[in-house]
Amino acid sequence: MDCPISVQDIKERLHNSKTVVILTGAGISAESGVPTFRGKDGLWKNFKPEELATPAAFTNNPKLVWEWYDSRRRTLSKLKPNPGHIAIAKIEKLVKEFALITQNVDGLHQLAGSKNVIELHGNIWHVKCTACNKVSLNKDVPIKILPFCECGGLLRPNVVWFGEMLSDKALTKAFVASDNCDLMFVIGTSGIVHPAASIALRAKDEGAFVVEINIEKTPLSVSADATLLGKAGDILPQLL
């Protein structure tokens, strides 16, 4: 049976909440034209993560890995935030305390105006030196392949790859925010990649009201207090 809680109920709850946290995944950017990871047209259907998104893949063939990231950067450089991203930026202005935790590396939330953004999986527009670890912004499209740091070290995309740990700082900030929120929205994520997915479960255990927004049910749906089925870009503006 579908959830009886309406968009209007959630809107009232949002307007009465002091501390709101939003967790997003690839689905929030789908309506901007960014491919998701899973599903029939998902990135992982056409590309093998182990050949492109692991430290070993980069060591074996940095050129191939950079070419893939360059192609994703080229696609992203033409895309814009959608009504879902924009509504989230407006929600941040509406509530007293707010944090946006995203698994996305596309930077579209910031382009939409979101300020307090915790990027769990890094950012595709940041590069990190494999020798001196310096992280810097690089918006070159195309990027020079291979790119090098001033110190001479090879640069890599500053994103979290399979087999790598998430940044402690980002994860701690995410847990502190989610452990203390009244209301959490979990938007456009398949909810199967941890520790990101466990953030929603922890928030629920700590007493938050958890609302999922997705075009389909996910493993998180059974734990959520409400699941609003539909496109994030249609539902989120209705909450304002």
C-beta of 207 vs 219, nearer to ligand OAD: 219
Give the number of other CB atoms < 10 A from CB of residue 117.
19
10 Å Cβ neighbour count for 203?
A: 27
Q: Is 103 in the site for ligand OAD (CB under 6 A)?
A: yes
Site for ligand OAD in 45-64 (CB under 6 A): 53
The set of residues, in sequence order, having a beta carbon less than 8 Å from that of 15 and lying 6+ positions away, is 94
What are the phi and psi torsion angles at 217 (to 5°)?
A: -70, 155
Which residues, numbered 12-41, are part of the site for ligand OAD (CB under 6 A)? 25-27, 30-31, 36-39
Smaller CB separation from ligand OAD, 99 or 235: 235
Catalytic residue among 85, 121, 126, 194: 121
Is 42 one of the binding residues for ligand OAD (CB under 6 A)? Answer: yes
Candidate segments 55-63, 72-80, 185-193, 203-211, binder of ligand OAD by CB under 6 A: 185-193
Are 239 and 7 contacting, i.e. CB atoms less than 8 angstroms apart? yes
Q: Does the annotation count 121 as an active-site position?
A: yes
Residue with tokens 């997003």: 24
189, 201, 220, 226: which one contacts ligand OAD (CB under 6 A)?
189
Per-residue binder mask for ligand OAD (CB under 6 A), 121-140, x = binder:
x-------------------
Cα distance between residue 52 and residue 113, in whole Å: 31
- How far is CA 175 from each of CA 18, 38, 51, 100, 102, rounded to the nearest angstrom? 17, 25, 31, 12, 13
Residues interacting with ligand OAD, by CB under 6 A?
25-27, 30-31, 36-39, 42, 53, 103, 121, 160, 188-190, 193, 213-216, 218, 231-232
